[in-house]
A and B are shown apart, each in its own frame.
Chain A
Amino acid sequence: MGDTVLSVKDLVVDIPTRKGVLRPVDRVSFDINEGEVLGVVGESGAGKSMTGNAIIGLLDPPAHIASGEILLKGSPIQNLEKKEMQKIRGFEIGMVFQDPLTSLNPLIPIGEQLSETIRKHLPVDKKTADKRALAALDEVGIPAAASRINNYPHQFSGGMRQRVVIALALCAEPSLVIADEPTTALDVSVQAQIISLLKQLCRERGTAVMLITHDMGVIAEASNRVAVMYAGRLAELGSVEKVLTTPEQPYTQGLMASTPLASEGKKRLNQIPGAMPTLGALPSGCAFHPRCEFAYDKCRVDPYPTLSDCNGRAACWLVTENSEKR
């Protein structure tokens, strides 16, 4: 692994409302190294997309970064001026969204969209930019790219569109790509193609990837490390083998147990009782304690455990206690 590309330290995102301040991201810290894929997994409302949007400065007001630091190659990028952020977005950080149809402009041919992005960020003339656009489409595996470069987004299938979006994200050679549910809207066979493409391109260029998804299978296949989020907080962070095979935090354990496996026969799934709390009604202490079968007194009172309070991998008091006993 190379140098640290992105370093997020104690990131807090607040949304002030009439009923008080909601905190969709609470003291989240992680690093992503060069050439590494960090999977961010969680259920809807866990704050994973909010974290991604905070990093590239696309939070919708009134949501804002209340505290914490986001360092891109060592320099802080949180709360930058709009103009400054635009220089970074697309150039230093590429973005792949869930729905490829809404992330492309339907009125402009894809070749033009690509060369526009290239010219915006790199000092090249139109001819070179067009050439680069064509090369980028070839690279993401669009068949007969030369004849399709003047096609509009609606003329492509879902999988091909997502390839165009990936080409768009990578065309200025960013050092970090944030992929927010890049395969959720796609079929399994196309999903496998897109994941392998993303992995291959990033490995070749040493691009760091933050892969946001709710699908544990995608995480297992694509990422090196995984961060599990629950109610805006990091529940567990570690190498993908360790977190998925021997999860330490009870929420991760429940999540793994309730994921149906193709390799096992028909049987009752384990279920976590209840649902994730809404941001307006977070319980005191650990946000997972009302659903946790191991919860005890310490879990119910503030302050809630963070990764650094515990063993650095799982945010759970039990983990610390067990290791002390040992």
Chain B
Amino acid sequence: MSALVKITNLTRIFDVSKPWLNRVIERLPVALLKAVSDVSLDISEKTAYALVGESGSGKSTIGKIVVGLQPPTEGSVEIEGVDLAREKDEAVVKKIRSDIQMIFQDPFASLNPRWRVKKIIEEPVKAIGGNTTGVAEKLLELVGLSKDDANKYPHEFSGGQRQRICVARALSSEPKLIVCDEPTSALDVSVQAQVLNLMSDLKDRLGLTYLFISHDLTVVRHMADKIGVLYLGRLVEEAPTEVIFADPQHPYTQMLFDAAPKLDSFGREVDPPKGEIPDPINPPSGCAYHPRCPKVIDLCKSERPELKENKDRRVACHLVQN
């Protein structure tokens, strides 16, 4: 399998300083927030790669850089071998752009309330100058809605149906890669199951590649082939889904798995994890997880562990032996 997406040493820094005049008068330093630091990963064609992490871990930022909504500060994202942020040839950029689509979290905010569903679904096709006849109707049936829904407005649909419309819109330009940013976290459980099933069916039928961004480990387990765990902008562990669930090695991954509520844990009494995600403007020295880590050693406080490759997984922890 070849890599459809190749992310190399990706770093994204946001300037969150006060306006320059305040900085001069109040003598404040420039504040830089490193949302993503030095992330490298490959997504193979026709697989689902999931980025997992808590809020502030940089997972959505990576998603936005992949679709080109934000430029990388350093490093590169190559899709089918083309770096969209640096490619000069307009025609190539346009071609690759049409291969990428995105599904957002909130289906109530991501559909234009004044447009009919037909227009919403056809928009990506029009943008690349394609033929729109019958596209909306065909796609609506593909995602389990009816042909007649094409002339309705978004408010006439429930949350789950709206997310189906979002899926249909994402499919209309016949993309290869779909970036899904928390696609089901706004939905109820029974509807979530419908949308997840639809998405995995479509992946098999149309040969899609997903970059799946989620904080919900149970959802990820059902969808992903490979999982990357992010903590404070860095990849701390990456492995195929079955491997990581069977044997999580990074203490942060272990904590995430333990903290997730389980259906069979009646009256479970365990010590909850310590602390919260630290301030990303002043991250801790060494390993960013060391203030919360139950297994911390002195080395963790001074030296940041490299992401080391070990058979089919990569882990960034001093304690994990190769």
The smallest beta-carbon distance between A308 and chain B, in angstroms, is 26
**Inter-subunit contact B189/A265 (CB<8 Å):** no
Chain A residues positioned under 8 Å from B74 (CB to CB): none
In the assembled complex, which residues on chain B have CB atoms less than 8 Å from the CB atom of A218?
A: 261
Interface residue? B264 (CB, 8 A): yes
Count how many chain B residues have C-beta atoms less than 8 Å from C-beta atoms of the other chain.
Answer: 47
A44 CA / B158 CA spacing, docked (Å): 11
Is A191 a contact of B188 with CB atoms below 8 Å? no
Say whether B189 contacts A255, CB under 8 Å. Answer: yes
| B residues in contact with A197, CB < 8 Å | 272
Among candidates A220, A258, A260, residue contacting B265 with C-beta atoms closer than 8 Å: A220
Mask: chain A, 228-261; 1 = CB below 8 Å from B; 0 = not: 0000000000001100110000000011101111
Is A43 among interface residues, defined by CB-CB distance under 8 A? Answer: yes
Q: Which residue of B lies closest to A272 (CB)?
A: B190
Q: Is the CB of B272 within 8 A of A262?
A: no
Find out whether the CB atom of B265 lies under 8 angstroms from the CB atom of A275. Answer: no
Complex contact B263–A256 (CB within 8 A) = yes
Contact A240 B200 (CB under 8 A): no
Count of CB-CB pairs between chains A and B under 8 Å:
136
Q: Which of B193, B245, B256 contacts A271 (CB 8 A)?
A: B193
Grouping DSSP codes into helix (H, G, I), strand (E, B) and loop, the B interface class, with mixed when no group exceeds half, is: helix
Which B residues, 226 to 268, have Cβ-Cβ distances below 8 Å to chain A? 241-242, 245, 255-268
Whether B188 lies near A44 (C-beta < 8 A) is: yes
Shortest Cβ distance from B191 into A: residue: A275
Looking across the interface, which residue of chain A has its beta carbon closest to that of B188?
A43
**Does A128 touch B at the CB level, under 8 Å?**
no
- Please tell me if the beta carbons of B221 and A265 are within 8 angstroms of each other in the complex: yes
Proximity string of chain B (204-224) to chain A, C-beta cutoff 8 Å, 1 when within and 0 when not: 000000000001011101110
Which residues of chain B are near A262, meaning CB under 8 Å?
A: 217-218, 221, 245, 257, 260, 262
Q: A100 on the interface (CB 8 Å rule)?
A: no
Contact of B193 among A195, A220, A221, A270 (CB under 8 A): A270
A107 cross-chain contacts in B, Cβ below 8 A? none
Question: Given A260-B218, A262-B245, A216–B189 Cβ distance below 8 Å?
Answer: yes
> A157 touching B192 by the CB < 8 A rule?
no
Tell yes or no: A17 within 8 A of B by CB.
no
Most buried by B among A190, A244, A260: A260
**Cross-chain contact A217 with B259 (CB below 8 angstroms):** no
| CB contact under 8 A between A269 and B273, given known A188-B260, A192-B259 | no
A132 to B320, CA, bound (A): 46
- Which residues of A, 273-302, contact B by the 8 Å Cβ criterion? 273, 275-276
A266 touches B272 (CB 8 A): no
The reply to whether A215 and B261 form a contact with Cβ atoms under 8 Å apart is: yes
Contacts of B197 in A (CB 8 A): 268-269, 271
Contact B158 A275 (CB under 8 A): yes
Q: A193-B273, A220-B265, A221-B262 given as contacts; is B192 within 8 A of A258 (CB)?
A: yes
- Known contacts A187-B215, A214-B189; is-contact A261 B263 (Cβ 8 Å): yes
Q: Are A189 and B273 in contact (CB under 8 A)?
A: yes
B54 contacts partner chain A, Cβ-Cβ < 8 Å: yes
- The residue among B54, B193, B256, B261 with the most chain A CB atoms within 10 A of its own CB is B261
Knowing A262-B245, A269-B222, the reply to whether A244 touches B263 (Cβ < 8 A) is: yes
CA distance A214 to B221 in the complex (A): 20
B54 contacts A189, C-beta separation under 8 Å: yes
User: Is A263 among interface residues, defined by CB-CB distance under 8 A?
Assistant: yes
Beta-carbon contact of A193 and B272 below 8 Å: yes
Contact across chains for A241 and B189 when beta carbons are under 8 A apart: no
Are A217 and B263 closer than 8 Å at their CB atoms?
A: yes
Contact present for B54 and A188 (CB under 8 Å): yes
Nearest A residue to B224 via CB reads: A266
When chains A and B are docked, how far (Å) is the Cα of A266 from the Cα of B48? 12
Provide the residues of chain A in CB contact with B268, threshold 8 Å. 221
Residues of A within 8 A of B132 (CB): none
**Also in contact, A188 and B266, with CB within 8 A (given A43-B189, A269-B222, A271-B194):** no
Chain A residues near B266 (CB-CB < 8 A):
220-221, 240-241, 244
A-B contact pairs, 5 of them (CB 8 A): A44-B159, A192-B273, A217-B263, A240-B266, A271-B194
Pairs A-B, 10 closest by C-beta atoms:
A217-B261, A258-B193, A43-B188, A187-B54, A192-B259, A269-B193, A260-B218, A193-B272, A271-B193, A272-B190
Given contacts A187-B55, A192-B272, 10 further A-B contacts (CB under 8 A): A43-B188, A157-B276, A189-B256, A190-B54, A195-B261, A196-B269, A220-B261, A221-B266, A268-B200, A269-B222
